[in-house]
Every structure is written in structure tokens, then in C-alpha cells.
Chains A and B, each alone.
Chain A
Amino acid sequence: MTRLRGVLVALVLLVTAALLVPAQAPVRAQATKGKIKIATQSPLSGGQAVLGEGIKNGAQLAIEQLGGPIKRLGFDLELVPFDDQAKPDVGVANAKNLVTDPDILLVIGHLNSGVAIPSSEVYKDSMLAMISPANTNPKITDRKYKNVFRVVGRDDVQGVVGAEFAAKEMKVKTVYIIHDKTAYGQGVAEFFRDHAPKVGMRVVGFEGTEEQANFDPIITPILARRPDLVYFGGIYNQAGVFFKQARAKGLKARFLGPDGMDSSDLAKVAGQAIVGMHYTTVAGPVSVYPRAAKFAQDYKAKFGKDPEPFAAQAYDATAIGLKAIENAIKAAGGKKPTREQVTNEIHKIKGFRGLTDTFTFDAKGDPVPATYFVINIVSGDPAKWGQNKLVKTLRINPPGAGM
């Protein structure tokens, strides 16, 4: 009995100590003009965590390396990462949470368009600027919210790029299209489908699925149709399983997908099944950006692994946001700017030299122009993901860009 009481007392002391530690931290920070926080929202758990973590790390590196000017203006700079779990409901709940923190002046995210669209409705109400490093669904910017930006291209272009490449370079005649029923996957698949007949391809099937494990019933009809190509509008964690099972079942068609395929985890899941397949992407491998070499080194030194896709884009998105915050502080006479002031400053940024591109936004928040890549997967070994070959680069303006 006495021993139990001892354990209890020790426990209470431990908990109290744990509660006191973070409480002491802000005491040091009293001398500054206040705190400015930058939030990231991306999946940090679940099947897409690899990409989501890359976004968080990219933003963190940017804040550490480029936060100097803001700190010299007398502000503390802090990253607050949120885990949206790639789920719209979690993203919205996080968004409601983070808009109540007046120190947060910028959101970098999300990975998934399906999460970004509802979450940005929440940001809009308080004019909190969101710069997306990865969202490609047209709706992101087509709603013309003043506070929503992205540094990558759009699916209505990406789907078209994929269809053009399939017809002209891969010489595909018939295509079977699968998608994951999300705003992103279905969106890009529909743009691919709509463009296919214009370049002489016949769509022999179009089907959405949320299945994660057993693709047999989907593969069998594909086998029977004998298409030249299977296009998968979706993300690597689901697509990898599908590709692997399709090959195991004897499907000979070639594979093509959008930028959701771009993760070394695709090779981890699918192995040999994906060797030789292509994907289109709005984020090229870090090696194609001459200005990103140092970023790749720093990233590896800090996080112990190569940057995943969208990490460099997250770095750029954060860099743009930091510049805008700095300008907004100056415009506000050295005081902490409002969210709306930060949003306005992002619109004013022209020709910003980032790692992956030189950025100017159109009125909707799309980059003008955006770059699209076609990549060829050379190995089923996840460690060799970085050696994938770039086979085509295109610079295309967003549809209806008023620049």
C-alpha cells in the first residue's frame, strides 16, 4: 500500500514537471515584438505520410534558412505542423483550430486537393493566406478566393499533358482509366478521359474505386478489354497495390499516372510491376532544378533522407510567404501585420526566384506559367527512385490566365 502511494506521488510529480517545462519556454521570448507562426497542413500519418512529411520538412528548412529578415525585424518565427491525415474532415477541424490562433499568418498545404478545398473555405473567412505546394485540382484556384495560392500546375493541364503524351509518344490506341474517387484522382482522370478522343485514343473503360486490398474484380474486366494503356488517377499507396496485382494477374498494358505516383513508396509497394511506367507531374525530381542542389544537400544533412516530391515546392511556398510577411511588416511600419495584409503582399510578388521556378501569380492564384514533367520509372528498387528519367518538360499557362 505504501509502495503504491509512493508510485502515485512520483507519478504526480512527473506529470507536474512535464506540465511546467513548456510553460517556461516562452519566458525567454519576452523581449521580441511578438510571435509569427507559419502552419503546415499535410498527412503526417497514414499511407501518404511520406509525402506529407516532406512538405513539413521543406517548410521547416525554409523557415530556418530564410527567416532571418523577419527575426531582424524583431519577431519570433515558429513552425506549427498539423496532421490532416489526408482526410477532409480532419483538415477542416485543424483549419478551424488554427484560424483561432492570431499568431498564424500563413498556411503551407495541403497535399490532397480533396482536403485543401474544404479547408480553404475556413481560411477564407479570416483571409488567412494558404499557399499550396502540391494541390493540382482546378477548383483550388477556380473559386477565385483571394487568399488561396499554389506553386504548381493544374490537373486540367496535367490530364491533357498525360493524354497527349500517351497518344503521341507512347503510341497508345486504347486506354482503360481507373481513379480513386477523390477530387484529385477523379479530376485528373476525367481531364485525361475528355482529351483522349481528341488525340485519337479510345477509352475502353472508366471506373472509380476506394478499394485498398483486393483489386481482382477490377482487373478482370481490364484483362478482357486488352487495352494498350492503363491510366490510374490517384495516389501511390493505392495505385501500387493495383499495379502489382494487375501484373501478377497477367495484365500486359503499359501504365501511366499523374503526380500522385511520385513517391519512392510506389516502388516499395509495387516493386518490379512499375518498371518502365510513366507518370506526369507538376513537381520534377529535385535534380532537374539547377537551383535546388544545395537544398537537396541541406535536406539530406538535416533529415537524413533525400527530399520527397513536393518538399522543394513546400520550401518555395514558404519562401514566398516569408517574403510577403516581411513586406507586410515593413508596410505596417514594423508592427505585426494582419492576415489580410499578408495575403495582399503575396499578390504583389512578381518574378520571385524560388528553387523550382520563378513565380508570378495570376489573379486566381495560379503560377504563370507552370511547368509539367513526364517521368519514366527505371527501377523497382525504392532506393533508386531518384534515378528516374525525365523524358519531357513543358511550360504551359493556366487556362484563362489573365496575365
Chain B
Amino acid sequence: MPVGGADRVEWDILLRILPTVVVDGFVLGFVYAMIALGYTMVYGVLQMINFAHSEIFVMGAFVGAETLLILQASGLLTVLHPLALLAVVLVLAMAGSGLLAVAVERVAYRPLRGAPRLIPLISAIGVSFFLQDAIRLFESLWRNAFFLTYPTIDLFDRRIPLVGEVEISVKSLLIIVASLLMLVVLTLFVNRTKLGMAIRAVAEDQPTAGLMGVNVGRIISLTFLIGGAMGGAAGALFGVQFGTINPYSGFIPGLKAFTAAVLGGIGNVPGAMVGGLVLGMLEAFAASYMSLLTGGAFGAEYKDIFAFSVLIVILMFRPQGLLGEVVREKL
């Protein structure tokens, strides 16, 4: 559809928005990366894709929204320092999602351990639908609305000038800092601590790890706890960043994060990070530039095609992902 003024490519505009697009890409990428960590950790340990992870992410977003809304109703929202607020929100969201992930593992996956690979996958999809509607039911009963809006916190919306016209909002910066911090802590935890070693041992070979005195069940629960907590934190930050949440908003981010995990090499922690960033950046560029470059013929709504095209290409040419190693089939 021809639009006045957009019938030629405007190079000056392309260049002018470049820094903003890069910042958007980073923010989105870090959100995807944080969710992807949950997929990757569970896969690393169980060789199973936890498709209920997007609902665990949504759980975090809802816990975050409820925390802020309840604080707002009790008048504490303006009393507490915004950073203290953020800390409270993150801790509660991580706890809620982490515990939910552990519960899901207990109820839906543990009884199926040893079953063919496809069975827990189906059970995961079932849990995913169940959780969506459970959240919807609960919020409908509790608030008579299941589309929640995050209260506005002025400090988070404030913008810090970077260079020239480019600005970054405080909340975008918080997402980047929080996810980098979590990634570092997680990497150190997995590689430097005893529990981390136990997780790696279980990932390597479950029966042997068990024979060496590792409590396999507990380590698997721990993996779900950590992965779930990451997803919860990502959910709460997603809510703060974009301001709105409903029980079904986990689906697309979850799918993207899964793509990111596969892209980076599923089972590989830094891989999830790299995959998330590549995907976030790709999406931001595709969405912002597509309509400019095609004179409005293709709009931002086609951005999702890119994520999934990349997934297909990666699976075709490098099935182990960018940073992944070839995982041998376990029996």
C-alpha cells in the first residue's frame, strides 16, 4: 500500500533510529535470554523441553503485578523507594515461579520419568494449558479482570540520555543489569559450587551420579527451582517494561525464548544468553526497519517470521546450536 512520504527508502531516518533499535534489541534479547535459561537448564539435566515454562514466566509477571497492585492499594507504592520495590517484586516473583516450577515437576514430570521422551512433552503442553486457565480463573475471581496493568513508577520511566538523541529508560537499564547479574551468578553457581557440580553430574549421567551419592531427585527439583526463578524474574521485568500482562501473554515470549535456547545450543547456559541476544536484536531490527525498507509493504507484524525462520535454518545447518555440542543420545 503506497503511503505518502514512504515510497522511497529514507536513509537518514534509518541511521537516526539505529541506536534506539540497538537498545530495544538488547532489552528484548535479555528478556528472552532470561526465559531461555529455564529451558536450557531443564533440558541440560533431563533432555526434556519444559513447555510449561512460558506459564512459569507468566506466573512471575502476575506475582509482580499483584505485588505492585496490592502495595498501591495499601498506599505503600509511593512510600517505598522504587529500587526497594523492584527488589521486593523480583524476590516474590522468583519465589512464586520457582516454587511453581518445582510443583510442576513433581506432579507432571516425575511420575513419567523413564517413560518415552514424547510423554513428558505432552504432559508439559497439558500443564501449560492448565496453568493459563488456572491463572485466568484465579484473577477473574480475585479481581474480576485477568488483563492486569502494572502501576506506573515514575523513576522507571525516566530516561537517561546516552549520546546525542539516544536515550535509555531506567527500566530498560534495570532489565539489562538484572539479567547480566543473574547470568553471572548462575554461571558461577553451576561451575564453581558443589551443588553446581552435582547438577552437572546429573546432566552427564543420572544413574552414575546417583551411585556417587548425588540425590538425583533433589538436584532435579533444584534445577527446576533455579530455572523457574529465572523465568519469574524475567516475567516481572517484562511486566515492568511493557506495562501489561494477561494469562496468555507467555506464549509468544516463551516460544521465542525456546527458539533462543535452541539457537544458542540447548543445554548450554552461555548459549541461551547468546541465542536470546541474537534473537532480540534480529527482531528489533526486522520490526523497526521492515516497513521503512519496503516502503510500508511489509510492516512490523511480520517480525515473528524472522525468529522462526532462524530456528528452521539453525536446525537445518547446525542442529546443535551456535555454542552447543553434539549431545549423544542417552539410553
Interface residues of chain A, those whose CB is within 8 Å of chain B, are 45-47, 49, 181, 193, 197, 202-214, 216-218, 220-221, 223-225, 237, 240-241, 244-245, 248-250, 268-269, 271-272
Q: Known A213-B244, A218-B300; judge A248-B21 contact (CB<8 A).
A: no
By the criterion CB–CB under 8 Å, are B244 and A269 in contact?
yes
Within the complex, the shortest CB–CB distance from B150 to chain A, in Å, comes to 10
Residues of A within 8 A of B169 (CB): 248-249
Residues of A within 8 A of B147 (CB): 46-47, 237
- In Å, the complex CA distance between A240 and B4 comes to 27
By the criterion CB–CB under 8 Å, are A223 and B20 in contact?
yes
CB of B196 closer than 8 Å to a CB of A: no
Q: Known A47-B246, A241-B242, A250-B167; judge A220-B20 contact (CB<8 A).
A: yes
Q: Which of A205, A216, A220, A240 contacts B296 (CB 8 A)?
A: A205
CB of B80 closer than 8 Å to a CB of A: no
By the criterion CB–CB under 8 Å, are B17 and A248 in contact?
no
By the criterion CB–CB under 8 Å, are A224 and B17 in contact?
yes
Secondary structure dominating the interface of B: helix
- In Å, the complex CA distance between A214 and B167 comes to 18
Within the complex, the shortest CB–CB distance from B53 to chain A, in Å, comes to 18
Within the complex, the shortest CB–CB distance from A319 to chain B, in Å, comes to 29
Q: Known A249-B169, A268-B149; judge A223-B5 contact (CB<8 A).
A: no
Interface residues of chain B, those whose CB is within 8 Å of chain A, are 1, 3-6, 13, 16-17, 20-21, 24, 27-28, 140, 145, 147, 149, 152, 157, 159, 167, 169, 238, 241-246, 249, 283-284, 286-288, 291-292, 296, 299-301, 303
Q: Which of A202, A207, A248 contacts B5 (CB 8 A)?
A: A202
- In Å, the complex CA distance between A249 and B24 comes to 11
- In Å, the complex CA distance between A13 and B246 comes to 38
Can you pick out 6 interface pairs between chain A and chain B where the beta carbons lie within 8 Å of each other? A49-B145, A205-B291, A208-B299, A216-B28, A220-B288, A221-B288
Residue of B nearest to A206 (CB): B3
- 12 additional A-B residue pairs with CB within 8 Å, beyond A221-B13, A223-B20, A244-B152: A205-B3, A207-B296, A211-B300, A212-B244, A213-B244, A217-B283, A217-B288, A217-B300, A221-B291, A225-B5, A241-B243, A248-B169
By the criterion CB–CB under 8 Å, are A207 and B249 in contact?
no
Within the complex, the shortest CB–CB distance from A220 to chain B, in Å, comes to 5
By the criterion CB–CB under 8 Å, are B4 and A204 in contact?
yes
Would you list the 10 A-B pairs with minimal beta carbon distance, nearest first?
Answer: A217-B287, A213-B242, A216-B24, A224-B13, A224-B17, A217-B288, A206-B3, A207-B299, A248-B157, A220-B288
Residues of B within 8 A of A205 (CB): 3, 5-6, 291, 296
By the criterion CB–CB under 8 Å, are A225 and B13 in contact?
yes
- In Å, the complex CA distance between A220 and B1 comes to 21
By the criterion CB–CB under 8 Å, are B28 and A211 in contact?
no
- In Å, the complex CA distance between A224 and B11 comes to 11
Residue of B nearest to A204 (CB): B5
By the criterion CB–CB under 8 Å, are A208 and B301 in contact?
yes
Within the complex, the shortest CB–CB distance from B111 to chain A, in Å, comes to 23
Residues of B within 8 A of A208 (CB): 299, 301
Residues of A within 8 A of B3 (CB): 193, 203-206
Within the complex, the shortest CB–CB distance from A199 to chain B, in Å, comes to 13
Q: Known A205-B6, A207-B296, A218-B287; judge A244-B243 contact (CB<8 A).
A: yes
By the criterion CB–CB under 8 Å, are B243 and A245 in contact?
yes
By the criterion CB–CB under 8 Å, are A181 and B301 in contact?
yes
Residue of A nearest to B152 (CB): A271
- In Å, the complex CA distance between A211 and B27 comes to 17
By the criterion CB–CB under 8 Å, are A245 and B242 in contact?
yes
- In Å, the complex CA distance between A208 and B303 comes to 13
Residues of A within 8 A of B159 (CB): 248, 250
